[in-house]
A and B are shown apart, each in its own frame.
Chain A
Amino acid sequence: MPAVSKGDGMRGLAVFISDIRNCKSKEAEIKRINKELANIRSKFKGDKALDGYSKKKYVCKLLFIFLLGHDIDFGHMEAVNLLSSNKYTEKQIGYLFISVLVNSNSELIRLINNAIKNDLSSRNPTFMCLALHCIANVGSREMAEAFAGEIPRILVAGDTMDSVKQSAALCLLRLYKTSPDLVLMGEWTSRVVHLLNDQHMGVVTAAISLITCLSQKNPDEFKTCVSLAVSRLSRIVSSASTDLQDYTYYFVPAPWLSCKLLRLLQCYPPPEDGAVKGRLVECLETILNKAQEPPKSKKVQHSNAKNAILFEAISLIIHYDSEPNLLVRACNQLGQFLQHRETNLRYLALESMCTLASSEFSHEAVKTHIETVINALKTERDVSVRQRAADLLYAMCDRSNAKQIVAEMLSYLETADYSIREEMVLKVAILAEKYAVDYSWYVDTILNLIRIAGDYVSEEVWYRVIQIVINRDDVQGYAAKTVFEALQAPACHENMVKVGGYILGEFGNLIAGDPRSSPLVQFNLLHSKFHLCSVPTRALLLSAYIKFINLFPETKSTIQEVLRSDSQIRNSDVELQQRAVEYLKLSSIASTDVLATVLEEMPPFPERESSILAKLKKKKGPGAVSVNELEEGKREGGELNGGGERGGDSSAISTPSPSADLLGLRAGPPVTAAAPSAGSLLVDVFSEAGVNDDVPFLAVPACLSASHTLLSLALRFVCKNNGVLFENQLLQIGIKSEYRQNLGRMYLFYGNKTSVQFVTFTTTLNVQAKPVEPLIEGGAQVQQVINIECLTDFSDAPLLNIKFRYGGALQNLTLKLPVTINKFFQPTEMASHDFFQRWKQLSLPQQEAQKIFKANHAMDTEVLKAKLLGLGMALLENVDPNPENFVCAGVIQTKAQQVGSLLRLEPNAQAQMYRLTVRSSKDTVSKRLCELLAEQF
């Protein structure tokens, strides 16, 4: 193979680069560059037309100068000229210059589109690839506009060269990312999916990235890719190590393609087709088996490639979370890696096990590795590995091992890296609280935490311990005793003084019987710390002192003396001075009764979300960033799992209670202008109560992937307002709604059925929406409120698009909101005479809609009545001469008008048929009501 000599082909460039390298100083370099720039400028401006070679050379020099970090303000035209050269080397430099510099000069793009167009249609694969690479590298919207239509054609054309297909697939991917609206796959979808079958493995490797991205957006349209991916994977996995020739890497057949296939499968639930599923399980088993075989090479490349596939397969197994056998095998395999000599593998095993810990099937298997993980925490050299070990301990913690894990974490804290201490403290505090069986253990743990890592104990942590002690009277005496002992230490952390001051101020009386901790001893102990503390702590201590006066009248004179001293009563700090003055006065003039009332024991705190948990979420979770940046949910599965016991975690978000003032419509912002796409329904979603009314609405473009739409479900809600709107293995969506006249309010409850967080949780209405809480803890539920105003009659319900990440996989789902026209009915009572008079008035043919249909359910009179009442109309008794028939009347309230409607339902029990007739003053309403109701009986 010919070696490439230095700067071959362009001597002038090589000389220039050498000159630059020989410059002794920055100044010399700048001087040399300026000289060169002047030279190039004169060449470009000169009278003599430059030949292609010189142009290429100078453009390349300019590029080099730019890459050194200098601005380039000319030469763009010459680069563009190179694009129309017939010589590859000249074209290549032209394209390269544009790809690298285009950020700084987007004007260029318009100039080059013509050249790109020519190259794309040149039928010269080399030129086509250059053009495609340029589009892929720049990926601007202008380019998408110009080429998004052409590239799919190139991609699927029968006569396109393989290398061009590869580039076209990825080029399209790039355009799709920049401008998804411009890349319309439609008719190409099936042919693109079938690229998974392409003979050329490189084409498959490139195309699969495109398919993965597209199927995340439109899972239904691309779902045939699942079986194709499984059979492709199966062929690779079962091939011998040399079968795939060019695509075998260190005896591993097609490792990157295998990983990409496994990743594509993670966009979908387990295959429903039994044969496909069986084949896939076989593949996964083979991959696990291969991990046990002796290596075919000692090279690290071999084991890395093999393990890359293994880890991806384990990710898929975790994603499915439905094959206990595979989950446990995966766990055992990772267990072996925990002791591997390669740091990389130990790290990855810890990381991967963290997600396994949250699966009910493998949680126990993960726990068996506790000793190894503890050892890793103690001995690993790389802090990031220790961090993973700590994460895993946190994830595998449950009631059975909490004491051990918390103890290990505490002892690790003594030497832990500063960078992870704060997070460790939070984790210990959470575990201690979550798994506290006896609260004395909890108190001990938190006080230890303060002792060991006081600087890293945030306010949230010590507030929390106080909240808990105050709320649990069985631990108060113990807490008082323990803080008292902890304060004996000659040097104790200020946070300890805070906790001690607070707890003794409240519960010092519980230990005052012991002469070793008599009131005066307690006071002296606290006061001995006073002068070393900061102002906020001193303020807290002053409050503790006045509480002492109430608890122990015998300390009154001592404490008054302290308060009266100049250093208190004339303290330069206003807060301290004020407290001293006021407390002194209070203790002097108030009667014992008044004092006892003012200084009564703190009432229990309302139960609410642990502020510590909130803090850890903020530190680690995506909740800390804005909804748009949520992509980076870090180690989704591993963090904060096991929320099952803490189902109330998210309930701290203050939402309006559905029972109280369900129709408190005044709370909603005024709804006025309708979005053009909104049809006649104006829906306004606000995430939570307490949202400022002046926060602008976020206009969301219609996002109607009809693909994954569950439309029929909404029909269940025609005759009822509450219930479960949707449910699958992961998510349950409950609904509660109430309507009055033309207004309505709907509460959606999103329940996470798993033990793993959903992150980047977003909902989009095809009308107007505000975001919902972007994160749902395992086992928790969040609520969204939707205010609805009916402007005029309608037949299409608004669509709600829900997206979130669960264990890394994007879930996408579109639901029709069960808002139907009948929700806006006002029942109208009327006598038989009136009914038939109105019935006759509505006699225009288009005002009537009629349907005859078979009964879907038992023809039970009571059930029918209940359904008709649920419909919202008045059910009129003794109106129809035939007692078997039902008649109803109501007025639909819209903002634009009122639509009176009458209904008659005639059951025929013998034939198991119904005849339904609806008459209303508006034809569309009659028609729609008839359609809706025909499905209900």
Chain B
Amino acid sequence: VLSLTVQPRCKIIRFILIQNRAGKTRLAKWYMQFDDDEKQKLIEEVHAVVTVRDAKHTNFVEFRNFKIIYRRYAGLYFCICVDVTDNNLAYLEAIHNFVEVLNEYFHNVCELDLVFNFYKVYTVVDEMFLAGEIRETSQTKVLKQLLMLQSLE
């Protein structure tokens, strides 16, 4: 049995996943220790849970003892796993905020950008989310920082 809890009990994002419809992972960011098998299992479960839902469904799914807040953009699912008592809409918009930053940074982001620039996507994530918490929400500030980093050798 996988235990998704941490001590002491502070709520954090457990993981962020970006997957395409076929279930290929485009980003996996883990905020808890999982071994590789657990990660693979979680990835498959999330895919199974999320892809069967349609636009009439909510953007929230119960997942084990947690919930997945997700949003679909074209063929990509952006999923955040949080505590059941966490604020659904705040995380839903955190996803969108993140997507808008990616879109700006990669100029109309598409799935391939995430594939070829996977190492940069991690940088974007770390600017906006750290240690399972929201770190920065201002798109202007994040983009300014990313462009500054981009200019470095």
Contact = CB atoms under 8 A, between A and B. Distances in A.
B121 to A, nearest CB: 10
Contacts of B137: 202, 205, 247, 249, 254-257
A381 B57 contact: yes
A255 to B, nearest CB: 7
Given A126-B152, A256-B137, A17 B143 contact: no
B89 A344 contact: yes
B140 A246 contact: yes
Interface residues of B, number: 73
B82 to A, nearest CB: 12
A177 B13 CA distance: 13
A11 B78 CA distance: 28
Interface stretch (A299-307, A409-417, A422-430, A481-489): A299-307
Nearest to B104: A1
Interface string A173-186: 11011001000000
Interface centre among B7, B117, B119, B131 (most CB of A within 10 A): B131
**Which range contains the number of A residues in contact with the other chain?**
35 or more
B106 A63 contact: no
Interface in B43-94: 53, 56-62, 65-66, 83-85, 87-90, 92-94
Nearest to A345: B89
Contacts of B122: 96, 99-100
Contacts of A136: 130-131
B10 to A, nearest CB: 4
A311 B148 CA distance: 37
Given A87-B153, A629-B3, A96 B90 contact: no
A167 B135 contact: yes
B56 A381 contact: yes
Nearest to B35: A103
Contacts of B107: 1, 3-4
Interface centre among A1, A260, A311 (most CB of B within 10 A): A1
A174 B117 CA distance: 27
Nearest to A254: B137
Provide the main secondary structure of the chain A interface. Answer: helix
Contacts of A205: 134-137
B145 A163 contact: yes
B105 interface: yes
A326 interface: no
Interface stretch (A448-456, A631-639, A909-917): A631-639
A247 B66 CA distance: 29
Contacts of B105: 1, 4
A893 interface: no
A104 interface: yes
A212 B61 contact: no
A166 B135 contact: yes
B81 to A, nearest CB: 12
A103 B135 contact: no
Contacts of A6: 112-113, 116-117
A1 B147 contact: yes
Contacts of A257: 137
A64 interface: yes
Contact of A173 (B7, B10, B62, B65): B10
A233 to B, nearest CB: 15
Contacts of B56: 343, 381-382
Contacts of B40: 69
Contacts of B12: 177
Interface string A347-366: 11000000000000000000
Contact of B36 (A2, A104, A256): A104
A188 interface: no
A76 B40 CA distance: 23
A534 B46 CA distance: 40
B97 interface: yes
A103 B37 CA distance: 12
B134 A88 contact: no
A707 interface: no
Contacts of A206: 130, 133-136
Given A136-B130, A170-B130, A177-B8, A255 B65 contact: no
B106 A3 contact: yes
Contact of A2 (B97, B126, B138, B150): B150
Interface string A92-104: 1100100110011
B100 to A, nearest CB: 9
Contact of A4 (B34, B120, B153): B120
Given A202-B138, A304-B92, A632-B84, A103 B33 contact: yes
A760 B85 CA distance: 15
Nearest to B27: A67
Contact of A256 (B94, B120, B143, B148): B94
A63 B133 contact: no
Interface in A368-426: 381-382, 384-385
Nearest to A104: B36
Contacts of B88: 308, 311, 344, 348
A213 B135 CA distance: 15
B7 A177 contact: yes
Contacts of A104: 36
Contact of A103 (B36, B57, B90): B36
Given A1-B143, A174-B131, A259-B87, A14 B58 contact: no
A307 B89 contact: yes
B84 A634 contact: yes
Nearest to A175: B131
Given A308-B87, A312-B87, A139 B131 contact: yes
Given A89-B152, A133-B126, A7 B116 contact: yes
Contacts of B132: 174
A67 B89 contact: no
Contact of A347 (B58, B116, B136, B152): B58
A21 interface: yes
Contacts of A760: 9
Contacts of A246: 138-141
Contacts of B8: 176-177, 180, 213, 216-217
A215 to B, nearest CB: 10
7 contacts: A1-B104, A7-B116, A21-B115, A206-B136, A308-B89, A308-B90, A631-B9
Given A17-B115, A60-B119, A205-B136, 6 more contacts: A103-B35, A103-B36, A171-B130, A311-B88, A312-B87, A635-B84
Top 3 A-B residue pairs of the complex, sorted by shortest distance between their CB atoms: A632-B65, A308-B89, A3-B107
